[in-house]
Structure 1
Amino acid sequence: MPGPSVVWFRDDLRLADNPALRAALDRDEPVIGLYVLDEESSGIRPLGEAARWWLHHSLTSLGERLRERGGALVLRRGPADRVVRETVSDAAAGAVFWNRRYGGPEREADAGLKSALRADSVEVSSFAASLLFEPWTVRTGAGTPFSVFTPFWRACLALPAPRAPLAEPREIAGPGRTPASDSLGDWALLPTRPDWAGGLRETWEPGEPAARRRLQEFLRDDLAQYDRARDEPGAGATSLLSPRLRWGELSPHTVWHETVEAGAGGRFLSELGWREFAWHVLFHHPDLARRNLRPEFDAFPWPRLQPTHLDAWQRGRTGVALVDAGMKQLWHTGYMHNRVRMVAASFLVKNLLIDWRRGEEWFWDTLVDADAANNPFNWQWVAGSGADAAPYFRIFNPQLQARKFDPDGHYVREWAPEHLGEDSPEPIVDLGETRKAALDAYEHVKRAARD
């Protein structure tokens, strides 16, 4: 069927290595970019506030880059199945292309839309773009999904190497008439009352060009010391690529191949593998953010929530230096160093005895890189209830972690300097006593599993 091609952008806000965009260009018809803000479809989780901030700026960048090359970006809001079909009708489009999503509700929505469009004689194709290895291609010898990372990643590396990234198009033929579009400002993605995003603006520049620059900076300046210093929050050795991958401003194929070409990166590439594993688990367990993967943890005796403890943790007022520094970094920048994320999460779950889902919800709202797989997956890992989980009895001692990974106090000095003076605040709970309480609760889980 002739007519323009619609490229439905989702978590792939880039022009380079975008298979859906490439397929549309190969069709040799005008191309219309579409982004749908879907907060209504069943099961689709609304974005957190920090994510909404990032999305606004990344869409701004994407729209500008499409226009520079002759294309257009249409913004529409509503249930995706209805909005995409309306856009196809308005544009008299003959084809729709998108890159695949892997969450349960998203897959169901995409499958239904694909069937409906084909019934209307519209060409539809979807592509692999956001993962190196699609979840159904990686199985155990018994044909089941992996539940442990090391054999999962070994199996991935035994598969054909990830494909080479696709080149960025220089020209994009736009339509003679572009369908009506919402104004991005009308979506009110940015905070105004109050405007709390000053720290995010200081820290980040969303968009594909900035993502490309950061990748090159990391490979040039930081990759060589990554293995040695990645766990030191004050060392500045982390890639800071997680939000770029979350929003698809970079593809994992680009990161993979450019890292390999740099001649290093074994440990860094395994971190890409950990990201893949999280999506692998979500694909097979769509309710990852709500339900314990290990069902015996359903018997965990969470005590009645103490709101003052949760509030202190969220605000970085626990009296525990490394935890408070991390939570303040999170609030200011929408980001937290990974080692500190583990420490802060362990403190919430295993010292404050607060359900991991409360922490997952807070990170979902405040992290610029929170996605549907990695955020709940990593919370369950810390809680001991998930795939490849750290045993529940492995409790991070935040004071020992600070001495080991921030021995000179650089990180704490930057984010929680009140902990370095003589009047340093006291912890809101006793670390030893709460550790014992957590282990007692874990014994309850083990007994329930045996009975």
Structure 2
Amino acid sequence: MSAPIIVWLRRDLRLADQPAFRAAAARGPVIPVYVLDDESPRYRRMGAASRWWLHHSLARLAADLEQAGSRLILRRGRSENVLSALAVESGAHEVHALHHVEPWWRNAERAVRKALDLQLHQGIYLAPPGSVLTGGGTPFKIYTPFWRALQERMPPAPPLPAPKLTAPEAWPNSDRLEDWQLLPTHPDWAGGMRAEWTPGEAGAAERLETFARRAARYAERRNLPAMLGTSRLSPHLHFGEVSPAQVWHGVANAGGSVDVFLGELGWRDYAANVIHQFPDYAAHSYKEEFERLPWRTGPEAEADLKAWQQGRTGYPIVDAGMRELWATGWMHNRVRMIVASFLIKHLLIDWRRGEEWFWDTLVDADYAQNAVNWQWSAGSGVDANMFVRIMAPLTQSPKFDAAGYIREWVPELAGLGDAEIHDPGLLRPRGYPAKIVEHTEGRARALAAHAAMKAV
């Protein structure tokens, strides 16, 4: 039997339409390995919600591999060290993997390549990051022309089925998933996540099939948080339980406004394109002037940040979104924009504090999209909303018919009518907080800070 081939897994936890598995299977026996590497990312190690998802996704992948006559090997440590040791143990010389755009994974890929024959494949995005270029051969910075150029390369190749895997003569030892302690215990805060999500390739396929039946009405429903209008595919895409090509081909013929949804897939590629150019995008404002903006700090700002995190701001639409996030690890996209704008502008708290909270609490916490979306809201990004364009939560809430959404997530207000629930005012029930800042006050403070930044 030929030497085994290692498939190094990260955010690509599927068997179908997975080029690394397919390439390795064509060359010999396959050893699938997931390395829990908290050393390479350092402070960018996965947050708590992502680790919950990872546990269940790995358990599902392990079961799928067992059914296919294979196994999932689990190891923990720095990727290059773990893979080098595994290669010695197993006699493997080749490692196949999908290329990742996050800066720590790019560094890890370079380190692995120094020690082993690393073969990288594409399969996380619609097009390889950095490959969609302007007529002058440079990467795009603005989404709209990027999306036009990406569309010229669409549709992606049809997805391929899972390959037949051959087992090696002997399996290397594996960690026990339970020993990694990825799940919360004291307290167990994941009950809402268990009720909402089914991690794994089968769960992703079911979610895609369900969304395909209503994708034609995506544009008219996607901004209504009380309605099931979005795909909820984001965590499945993030962990690679479904490929973007599978999603594209799964909905492309739905008709109606499905093109709007395909544009959101394009935004995912666009975010990767930004991170490919600016790897530290989550740490520094792209527009340098925003490093001079006088963000609020100190005890009062910290108290406001905590109120925002807990959904206790006195703004029902904001509080509903933050409570949905804490309970389910996910938040409706329109509400994400509202709560981000509120933190940045009404509370004048640095966008990076919000990005950090989302990184820890979102099951779809994606380095590229999280950073790009927060800098879009702050107005500091390469392609961003203007800082002076301040969302008014009390207007956004009735505009997008959020009464039912608020009743679900802010039960203190459930007894109020549709006319009052968006802004309870004096009807505020006992136990629900007063506004931590009035809209006019927060808006004026934000505009003054922006003017001060511009005056320097």
Distance 1:406 1:263, change over 3 A: closer
Secondary structure of 2:31's aligned partner:
strand
Which residue does 1:292 correspond to in 2? 285
Change (3 A) 1:87 1:135: same
Q: Measured at CA, do residues 44 and 437 of structure 1 come closer, stay the same or move farther in structure 2, by a change above 3 Å?
A: closer
Say if 1:293 and 1:386, in contact at 8 Å, map to a contact too: yes
Q: Is the 8 A contact 1:2 1:94 kept in 2?
A: no
Amino acid at match of 1:101: H
| Cross-structure match for 1:423 | 428
**Match among 149, 163, 176 for residue 155 of structure 1:** 149
C-alpha change, 1:44 and 1:141, in structure 2 (3 Å) is farther
Deviates more, 1:437-446 or 1:276-285: 437-446
Tell whether the 8 Å contact from 1:44 to 1:106 is kept in structure 2 after alignment.
no
Q: Secondary structure at the match of 2:116?
A: helix
State the aligned residue count: 439
2:186 counterpart SS class: coil
Secondary structure at 2:252 match in 1: helix
356 and 48 in structure 1: CA distance in 2 versus 1, 3 angstrom threshold: same
TM-superposed CA distance for 1:445, in Å, is 2.2
Q: How does 1:351-430 map to 2 (within 5 A)?
A: 351-406=346-401, 409-420=403-414, 421=416, 422-424=427-429, 425-430=433-438
The 5 Å alignment of 1:206-285 reads: 206-220=199-213, 222-263=214-255, 265-285=258-278
Contact kept? 1:103, 1:282, Cα under 8 Å: yes
Residue 311 of structure 1 aligns with which residue?
306
- SS in structure 2 of the partner of residue 35 of structure 1: strand
How many angstroms apart in 2 are the aligned matches of 1:199 and 1:160? 37
Partner AA of 2:44 in structure 1: R
Whether the 8 Å contact between 1:297 and 1:385 is mirrored in structure 2 is yes
**Which residue of structure 2 aligns with residue 14 of structure 1?**
14
Question: Are residue 90 (structure 1) and residue 85 (structure 2) matched?
Answer: no
What's 1:26 paired with? 26
Structure 1 residue 339: deviation in Å? Answer: 0.3
Instruction: Mark the runs of 5 or more structure 2 residues left unpaired by the alignment.
Output: 417-426
Residue identity matched to 1:13? L
> CA shift at 1:223, angstroms?
0.8
Residue by residue, what CA displacement relative to the aligned partner does 1:144-182 show, whole Å, maximum 9, x if unpaired?
Answer: 22221101101111235322211123x321122110100
Match for residue 121 of structure 1? Answer: none
Matching residue of 1:435: 443
**Cα deviation, residue 359, structure 1:** 0.6
> Percent same amino acid among aligned pairs?
49
Which residue in the other structure is 2:105 paired with? Answer: 106
> How do residues 65-84 of structure 1 correspond to structure 2 at under 5 angstroms?
65-84=64-83
Deviation at 1:439, TM superposition (A): 0.8
Q: Deviation at 1:73?
A: 0.6
Q: 1:24 to 1:44 in 2, by over 3 A?
A: farther
**3-state DSSP of counterpart to 2:157:** coil
Query: Which deviations, in whole Å up to 9, do the C-alpha atoms of 1:296-348 show, x marking residues without a partner?
Result: 11111112242211110000000000000000000100000000000001101
Asked if the contact 1:234–1:410 (Cα under 8 Å) also holds between the matched residues in 2, the reply is yes
Question: Are 2:452 and 1:444 aligned?
Answer: yes
Letter in 2 for 1:300: L
Deviation at 1:105, TM superposition (A): 2.2
Range moving further from structure 2, 296-305 or 348-357? 296-305
How much does 1:61 deviate? 0.3
Deviation at 1:141, TM superposition (A): 2.5
- Say if 1:7 and 1:24, in contact at 8 Å, map to a contact too: yes
Measure the CA separation in 1 of the matches of 2:336 and 2:358: 10
2:310–2:322: 8 Å Cα contact kept in structure 1?
yes
Q: Conserved in 2, the CA contact under 8 Å of 1:71 and 1:174?
A: yes
Deviation at 1:94, TM superposition (A): 3.2
Counterpart Cα distance in 2 of 1:160 and 1:251: 15
Name the structure 2 match of 1:129: 123
Matched residue SS, 1:136: coil
Specify every segment of 5 or more residues in structure 1 that has no aligned partner in the other structure, as ranges.
119-123
Q: C-alpha deviations, 1:268-296, integer Å up to 9, x for none? A: 00000111111110111111111001111
